[in-house]
Amino acid sequence: MGLFPLMSETDPPSPKTPDPRQGMPDPQLGEAEFRQRFLSAFQDPAFEPLKAELDRVAGAAWDGYSHHRKAPRTRKAGPGYADPDYDLAEDWIAAKAAVDAAQARHEDKDGPPRILLVNGSSRSEHSCPGEMSKSWRMVEMARAAIALEAPEIEVKVLDLSRLTSEYGREIHPCKACFSTAAALCHWPCSCYPNYSLGQVHDWMNEIYPMWVEADGVMIVSPVNWYQATSPLKLMIDRLVCADGGNPDPTLTHGKDAKKAKEEELKGWDYPRHLEGRLFSVITHGDTEGVETLRRMLSDWLSSMKMIPAGAAAEIDRYIGYWEPYATSHDALDADTAMQDEVRDAARVLLDGVRKKRAGQLPEGPKLREPRRK
């Protein structure tokens, strides 16, 4: 027997599958309240001549809602799935194809190295604040530093402020399927779109491939009340399926909670869909919480088996400490050391990505985790 056995020699038998616990109030609306909510989106007087048409549209929407047509367009899963005859949502099939294509790009050693820069701020001059965020400026500093040193690197920017400034751009909240059973959390997420509930325009099916194809990820974010920003936290929660999520919804016949519990208790292997990618984190604030947020983000990324690029790539700093918000951009202008640290963090991440692609980063032993959840 080796020093680090990959599997336990005496795995315990699977326990009896518990029934899903139920008893919360039913949120189902009656038709009158549903119609009122549906039509409340059309307050602009420009819609008044279309009242009869909107009434008919509301009737069609009620039909989908009352009959729970979450995914009205489906097709058979086909070969490669546990149940080839199961009807999978066409939206999910397309999302899975995009993730698989991104994984192929990630594994293509002849393709360019890829870095994803994430602006975690919700502030934008194109919405109520009327001014760009400092996080956006730092993302641009990082992008310029990478482009100057390594023009061959493919850099993408994920600007989460689009959630507040762009029409139809949403990240819906995680429904916590993983907490019922790991196998119930599908990779990529199958909770959305839910047409019957009007939960559409979900951005995550575009965001998942951006993370998957990347060799390195840098997150730049301000602190909001000791916490991650609302857009950043939404994305974090929806990335739960990237860490242990089930790539085959037919295994659980969609969202069959009891079947998902059975699958988990058989011995779930918790696949790490983002394992091995490098990361950098930059957090900033004006009074409090920068270290807390930086550690939270670093711990989260590490828990997904992503690799910290290095100490210089993880930064928490105050900009204009206890100074007026009105002059915060001026404070960043004056803080040339902070600007240099951002550029250095990008260079450290770039160096790690290059070494990882060249096979120069040491690989640790493939251990079976003693505690798997």
Query: Who contacts 68 (Cβ-Cβ below 8 Å, separation ≥6)?
Result: 196
Q: What is the pLDDT of residue 366?
A: 74
Residues ≥6 apart with Cβ < 8 Å to 112: 152, 153, 154
Sign of CA dihedral 54, 60, 65, 70: negative
Nearest CA among 286, 260, 23 for reference residue 133: 286
Q: What is the pLDDT of residue 13?
A: 57
365 in Cβ contact with 4 (< 8 Å): yes
Identify each DSSP E strand in 12-141 by its residue range. 74-76, 87-89, 114-119
Non-local CB neighbours of 165 within 8 Å, separated by 6+ positions: 124, 126, 127
Pick the CATH number of 65-357 from 3.40.50.360, 1.10.10.60, 3.30.530.20, 3.20.20.70: 3.40.50.360
Element housing 21 (H / E): none
Q: Token digits for 311?
A: 């100490």
The answer to whether the peptide bond before residue 193 is cis (omega within 30 degrees of 0) is yes
Region for residue 371 given its phi and psi (left: phi exceeds 0; alpha: psi -120 to 50; beta: otherwise): beta
Q: Which helix (H) or strand (E) holds 280?
A: strand 278-285
The single-letter code of the amino acid at 184 is L
Token look-up 């965001």 returns: 207
The pLDDT of residue 365: 72
pLDDT at res. 256: 97
Contact between residue 317 and residue 341 where contact means Cβ atoms under 8 Å apart: yes
CB contact at 8 A, 293 and 224:
no
Question: In the structure encoding, which two tokens stand for residue 8, read together?
Answer: 């336990």
pLDDT per residue as tens, the chain (373 positions): 344 344 445 555 557 999 999 999 999 999 999 999 999 999 999 999 999 999 999 999 999 999 999 999 999 999 999 999 999 999 999 999 999 999 999 999 999 999 999 999 999 999 999 999 999 999 999 999 999 999 999 999 999 999 999 999 999 999 999 999 999 999 999 999 999 999 999 999 999 999 999 999 999 999 999 999 999 999 999 999 999 999 999 999 999 999 999 999 999 999 999 999 999 999 999 999 999 999 999 999 999 999 999 999 999 999 999 999 999 999 999 999 999 999 999 999 999 999 999 999 877 677 777 777 6
State the Cα–Cα distance between residues 372 and 272, nearest whole angstrom: 12
Closest CA to 224 of 164, 311, 307, 308: 164
Token pair of 58 as six digits: 């509301």
* Nearest to 190, CA basis, from 273, 277, 252, 106: 252
In the chain, % helix, strand, coil (3-state, to 5) comes to: 45, 15, 40
The domain segmentation of the chain, as residue ranges, is 65-357
State the Cα angle at 224 between 222 and 225, rounded to 5°: 140
pLDDT for res 373 = 66
